Structure 1
Amino acid sequence: MIKYLRMMAMISILAITAGCQMDQSTSASGTKAADAAMDQEAKAALQSLYTSTPKSRALAQKAKGILVFPDVVKAGFIAGAHHGEGELIENGKVTGYYSTTAASYGLQAGVQRFGYAMFFMSDSALKDLKTGNGFEVGVGPSIVVEDAGAAKSLTTSTIQSDIYAFIFDQKGLMAGVGLQGSKISKLSR
């Protein structure tokens, strides 16, 4: 039984890794069409977030920058991973393209798609993202992940953290718990 579980975990990791590599190779062409498509997806994702969580719009107006990943895919069986691409928006303009990748291990099973946005509230947090060699979530600036309930009580006068993150538009089923570290890297586009 343990041998079977290990084999299934390895197959899951290989499938996810292959999918992430295929996604990166097709989007790394740097074409204007790919950038325009990403711009449209990011705008639609933010609009969806603002509709489902109206307080996020007020937060966006105060943010120094918004990093939005409109479509992140997460899959796993014991071992798992997630990957997606997005863009950084500063003063209403796209200033860079980024990828998010994470690996996890623990009691988990399923496949899920979701979007997430990170609102950078301080210049120093934004600088860490833009100048670092890979930005690791949970290392460095303080990050608060908001859910629908907590976001209702959020006001621009209660903002105290460097970064606020919202996960939205979840589709699929991912059950379980696991240790996870997410790395955000700048794409050369």
Structure 2
Amino acid sequence: MMKWKQLLAASGLMLLGFVGSAASFADSKAEIDASVSRAMKQFYTLSPKNKELAGKAAGMLVFPRITKAGAGIAGEYGEGVLLVKDKTVGYYSITSGSIGLTLGISDRSEVIMFMTKAALDKFTNSHGWSIGGDAGVAVVSAGAGGTYNTKTLQEPILGFVFGEKGLIGDLSLEGSKITKIEK
């Protein structure tokens, strides 16, 4: 029992250090914009249909790099932009935390497409938006290079995860909180 308490305490300290240092790796607008551009090029390369689908979206959140780390207690952080008609209209952060059987560290990219104006408006009018709490996101099961079925395309919000690097025991969008940041 004592070893579990020690592991939990060490995990908590690691998470506090990770979350506390999130602000220290906050990027400038120019750095975020350049990362978003690279991520979108990669996203469009994964499947020719991704660009066509993006053209139909009312808006897209693009997080070029989300880092998740944990040992029992985990946290994640990333910064990105909201694109509307290929123009940046705001800068956002994504965060989450969890307790459970999580071990490792990883990076990934995410694109969240608002396929309807109503879904985009609900997001932009919120003060902190959480996936699963404020809205359900249909994660394209085969990843960013996968094929879409007609049922998936009817969902108001689509999520794509790609470019995974590292090793971690879980990978989901559920519970992530997205907040507007001032740059």
When normalised by structure 1's length, the TM-score is: 0.86
RMSD: 2.3
Task: Tell me, yes or no, if structure 1 residue 130 matches structure 2 residue 124.
Answer: yes
Deviations 1:109-132 (A, max 9, x none): 000011101011011111122110
Q: Which runs of 5+ in 1 are unaligned?
A: 28-33
How far the C-alpha of 1:55 sits from its partner, in A, is: 2.5
Secondary structure of 2:133's aligned partner:
coil
Q: Which amino acid aligns with 2:4?
A: I
- Aligned pair count? 181
* Separation (CA, whole Å) in 2 of partners of 1:152 and 1:169: 13
**How many percent of aligned residue pairs carry the same amino acid?**
34
When normalised by structure 2's length, the TM-score is: 0.89
Q: 1:167 aligns with which of 156, 161, 170?
A: 161
1:93 — aligned with what? Answer: 87
* Separation (CA, whole Å) in 2 of partners of 1:94 and 1:150: 21
Q: Which amino acid aligns with 1:136?
A: S
Q: Which runs of 5+ in 2 are unaligned?
A: none
The verdict on how the C-alpha distance between 1:61 and 1:102 changes in structure 2, with shifts beyond 3 A counting, is same
Moved over 4 A (4+): 155-158, 176-180
Deviates more, 1:58-67 or 1:145-154: 145-154
Q: Which amino acid aligns with 1:107?
A: L
Q: Is the 8 A contact 1:103 1:180 kept in 2?
A: no
Q: Which amino acid aligns with 1:62?
A: K
Q: 1:60 aligns with which of 54, 59, 84?
A: 54
The verdict on how the C-alpha distance between 1:86 and 1:149 changes in structure 2, with shifts beyond 3 A counting, is closer
Q: Is the 8 A contact 1:88 1:98 kept in 2?
A: yes
Secondary structure of 1:153's aligned partner:
coil
